[in-house]
Amino acid sequence: MLDSLLAYPQTLLGPLWPAVWTLVKIIVIVVPLMLCVAYLTLWERKLIGFMQIRIGPNRTTFFGLSWLGGWAQPIADGLKLLVKEIIVPTGANKFLFVLAPIMAIMPALAAWAVVPFSPELVLSNIDASLLYLLAMTSLGVYGVIIAGWASNSKYAFLGALRSAAQIVSYEIAMGFALVGVLMAAQSLNLGEIVKAQQGGAGLFSWFWVPLFPLFMTYLISGVAETNRAPFDVAEGESEIVAGFHVEYSGMTFAVFFLAEYANMILISMLTAILFLGGWLSPFPASWGVLGASSFGWLILKAFLVVSSFLWFRATFPRYRYDQIMRLGWKIFIPVTLVWIVVLGAWMQTSLWIWWK
């Protein structure tokens, strides 16, 4: 069906076809992602509202559909930011000032190229996709640093320094957690990693069981990597106003915002894929639709992880900066190192039951 539909543009475009078709696939990924980002902001405000016994945004609606709550809020916010003036501070480096938000969102979107949505559905099924993801997430810090420096503002610069040190530190713990995953899965390919979690034990054959310390490290480092509360000292408003993006307004600010939320969704998607079995169903295969592995399970797992990010924000007070560094270097890195050694020894024995 799809092949016959695609035959006509294929002959029409000729040699340009692969580029155009890839572009179409990229759009198919990015547009829903941006919608998810928009509605994640609404969900964040709603969920934290529920947790604090408030209602959250409930005024902005379309067509008077008030029972849906403030479901037009993200659109209204986006529109407002879109038409606001972009103010470039005096003495700022104009080129880098504009480049910084682009540098922030570029890796957040580029990483999605290797994320598999189902066994076949992936934009680019490369062999070393886990490495590619690590490389892309490590590029995200440039947006923050360049923004802090180009703004010609002390607050922004302090925020950028904090954020850069924090991201570089937590990347190490994150990388070690991923080393554990690739050891257990014996592959760097995300699709293969999910397949390695397919076992008879359903829920318990996923990697969160044998790699539990790494799972916790990855999850918490993920929160720190995306500069989310309780690790959001980069924008600690009580100390440095709003950190690296204090001088940004209008759409340039919105792009930073989009990048942060896209990164959040990416990290939760990866947690779901690497540790929570991806598209595999937690129920036995005999349960029909519930037992079948599907895209819906992946979305559900990612949704739960991303909601827990919001939960953390509503629950914990902000960490002090030296304690963030202590947690990253003195707790997470030793924990991951010890568990990698334990895992290596464990996999050599017959007690290892996760792959045959």
- The residues that touch other proteins, with contacts defined as CB under 8 A, are 96, 126-128, 131-132, 134-135, 138-139, 141-142, 145-146, 149, 157, 161, 164-165, 168, 171, 188, 323, 326
How far apart are alpha carbons 255 and 269 in whole angstroms? 21
**Per-residue tokens: 67:** 């029972």
Smallest distance, other proteins to C-beta of residue 171, A: 7
Q: Which of 319, 283, 273, 265 is nearest to 39 (CA)?
A: 265
Choice between 128 and 335, CB closer to other proteins: 128
Smallest distance, other proteins to C-beta of residue 325, A: 12
Smallest distance, other proteins to C-beta of residue 235, A: 18
Q: What is the DSSP string of 224-269?
A: HHTT-TTS-GGG-HHHHTTGGGTT--HHHHHHHHHHHHHHHHHHHH
Choice between 32 and 344, CB closer to other proteins: 344
Inter-residue contact 101 to 256 (CB < 8 Å): yes
Choice between 166 and 271, CB closer to other proteins: 166
**Residue 79, H or E segment:** helix 73-83
Choice between 36 and 96, CB closer to other proteins: 96
**Per-residue tokens: 158:** 């302090």
Q: Which of 86, 118, 105 is nearest to 190 (CA)?
A: 118
Choice between 59 and 326, CB closer to other proteins: 326
Smallest distance, other proteins to C-beta of residue 323, A: 6
Tell me the three state secondary structure of residue 83.
helix
- Angle between helical axes of 212-225 and 154-185 (0-180°, round to 10): 160
**Per-residue tokens: 338:** 């010890």
**Cα dihedral 222/225/228/234 (nearest 10):** 160
DSSP assignment, residue 330? I
Left (φ > 0), alpha (ψ -120 to 50) or beta: where does 53 sit? left
DSSP strands (E only) in the chain: none
Inter-residue contact 116 to 125 (CB < 8 Å): yes
**Residue 28, H or E segment:** helix 17-51
Choice between 182 and 265, CB closer to other proteins: 182
Choice between 80 and 94, CB closer to other proteins: 94
Smallest distance, other proteins to C-beta of residue 154, A: 12
Smallest distance, other proteins to C-beta of residue 128, A: 5
Choice between 43 and 321, CB closer to other proteins: 321
Smallest distance, other proteins to C-beta of residue 256, A: 18
Choice between 147 and 306, CB closer to other proteins: 147
